[in-house]
């Protein structure tokens, strides 16, 4: 079956612009996670969804970052007023349930802020 | 808070040689332990995990890792590596009851002919 998909695969944007990154989890997976992979910080957790609710947003680095999930499926990560330090690969993962400890990762969106 | 330390950022090794990638973690509560692999230009894939039971866990492609609670370690080993094992390997923990993964900085394994 289809894995986790993310779009776009690459995004180049100018400093100060807003961007939206999309994640389509594996069908039937109720838990969804966003992570960020950058040279300076490694792999960092951003936010976790169970269904459409986000019980853990502790990793969002600033109020410029937000995320939502609709229909218990697709999720969008929005970065407002992008800064150069936002340049990174944004990874999405999903798991079957909250207590399923195997997370399946998407290929990521490479964001470059110029 | 939990943290993961991968002691080697890069490990060069010749084909068919053994390899050990080291991982130590810090946590005041029980954790689950994972190794993920990222092949060049690909996404993260789960290699193996320790949740409970036998402290030695194995993957389908010959890797194994042993959970050592007293040393808070979860080192990854393979007795004989292949060129195709060239990748970046990430050790990760999650706290029981919480699903977010906390990753180490990664170890780049480079297998040379």
Is the pLDDT confidence value at A79 over 70?
Answer: yes
The answer, for B44 touching chain A at a CB cutoff of 8 Å, is: yes
CA distance A5 to B21: 30
Mean predicted confidence (pLDDT) in A21-34 = 95
- Using a pLDDT cut of 70, give the percent of chain A over it: 96
pLDDT reported for residue B93: 93
| Residues contacting B49, CB < 8 A, separation 6+ | A101, A102, B32, B33, B34, B35, B57
The answer, for A107 touching chain B at a CB cutoff of 8 Å, is: yes
The answer, for A39 touching chain B at a CB cutoff of 8 Å, is: no
Mean predicted confidence (pLDDT) in A4-21 = 97
Mean predicted confidence (pLDDT) in B65-92 = 95
Across the interface, whether the CB atoms of A43 and B94 are under 8 A apart is answered no
Q: At the top level of CATH, which class does the domain B3-112 belong to?
A: mainly beta
Q: Which of B30, B40, B43 to mutate to test the interface with A (most CBs of A within 10 A)?
A: B43
Across the interface, whether the CB atoms of A59 and B32 are under 8 A apart is answered no
Is the pLDDT confidence value at A40 over 90?
Answer: no
Q: B67-97 burial by CB neighbour count: b if 16+ within 10 A, else e? A: beeeebbbbbebeebeeebbbbbbbbbbbee
To the nearest whole Å, the CA of A78 is away from the closest chain B CA by 20
To the nearest whole Å, the CA of B89 is away from the closest chain A CA by 12
> Bigger pLDDT: B52 or A37?
A37
CB neighbourhood size of B36 (10 A): 24
Q: Which of A32, A41, A43 to mutate to test the interface with B (most CBs of B within 10 A)?
A: A43
Across the interface, whether the CB atoms of B99 and A107 are under 8 A apart is answered no
CA distance B2 to B13: 30
User: Which residue ranges make up each domain of chain B?
Assistant: 3-112
The answer, for B100 touching chain A at a CB cutoff of 8 Å, is: yes
The answer, for B32 touching chain A at a CB cutoff of 8 Å, is: yes
Torsion of CA A55, A94, B96, A67, to 10 degrees: -20
Nearest CB to A43: which of B45, B49, B90?
B90
Residue range B4-38, pLDDT digits in tens: 999 999 999 999 999 999 999 998 888 899 999 99
Minimal-distance CA residue of chain B relative to A102: B46
Q: Which domains does chain A have, with CATH numbers?
A: 5-98 (2.60.40.10)
- Using a pLDDT cut of 90, give the percent of chain B over it: 75
Is the pLDDT confidence value at B85 over 80?
Answer: yes
């Amino acid at each position: 079956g289809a894995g986790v998909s993310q779009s776009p695969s690459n995004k180049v944007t100018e400093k100060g612009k807003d961007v939206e990154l999309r994640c389509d989890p594996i069908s039937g997976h109720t838990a969804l996670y966003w992570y960020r992979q950058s040279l300076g910080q490694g792999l960092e957790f951003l936010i976790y969804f169970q269904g459409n609710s986000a019980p853990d947003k502790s990793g969002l680095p600033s109020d410029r970052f937000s995320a939502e999930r609709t229909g218990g499926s697709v999720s969008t990560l929005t970065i407002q007023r992008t800064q150069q330090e936002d340049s990174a690969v944004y990874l999405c993962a999903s798991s079957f349930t909250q207590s399923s400890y195997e997370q399946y990762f998407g290929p990521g969106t490479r964001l470059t802020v110029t | 808070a939990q943290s993961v330390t991968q002691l080697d950022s890069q490990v060069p090794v010749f084909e068919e040689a053994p390899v050990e990638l080291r991982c130590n973690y810090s946590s005041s509560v029980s954790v689950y332990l994972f190794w993920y692999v990222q092949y060049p230009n690909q996404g993260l894939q789960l290699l193996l995990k320790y949740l409970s039971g036998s402290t030695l866990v194995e993957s389908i492609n010959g890797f194994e890792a042993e959970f050592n609670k007293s040393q808070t370690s979860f080192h990854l080993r393979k007795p004989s590596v292949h060129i195709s094992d060239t990748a970046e390997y990430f050790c990760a923990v999650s706290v029981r009851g919480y699903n977010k993964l906390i990753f180490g900085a990664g170890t780049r394994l480079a297998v040379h002919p």
